[in-house]
Amino acid sequence: MTTITVKTKRIDDLHFEHQLWKSEAKFCADELKIYKNWLSDIASKNSKNAIRKQIEQFQNKFIIQKEQLDGLNHEINVHDQWLAQFAHENPVAIEHRFFADHKVMREQMEAFRKIFSELKEDFRKFLATWM
């Protein structure tokens, strides 16, 4: 017989991780704004088709990453609100209660970080060529 162990965490630990993720997502969103401005600057100075195509590709990738951030933020907020509601309804039990770890959300954040890091590296190379 196989037993499945579910990792659990305290509400404070989950909430703290949510706050870290929200801060990280805000920072990434701010980076995307800066990158979009740089793209606009490059686009205004270059009219070559090859550059335009690369600019459009980066614009699309930035849009996709922003959508991913928005989705992650939504999931984080929903989970945080659920925890807050539970804490409000069970103020005594909350100090002794453990909750299932949000492993899927953590994996989603890690996947986002990896993809975003690769995108930033590609964009840096593009900037080094055209700025």
CA torsion angle for 81, 82, 85, 86 (degrees, to 10)?
-150
HSE-CB at 125 with a 13 A cutoff on CA atoms is: 7
Helical ranges in the chain per DSSP H: 11-45, 49-89, 103-130
Report pLDDT digits (tens) over 41-54: 999 988 888 899 99
Comparing CA positions, the residue from 21, 10, 30, 43 lying closest to residue 131 is: 43
Q: Which residue has the tokens 């870290």?
A: 20
Report pLDDT digits (tens) over 16-71: 999 999 999 999 999 999 999 999 999 998 888 889 999 999 999 999 999 999 99
Q: What mean pLDDT is predicted for residues 107-127?
A: 97
User: What are residue 100's DSSP bridge partners?
Assistant: 8
Model confidence, pTM: 0.85
End-to-end Cα separation, the chain, in angstroms: 62
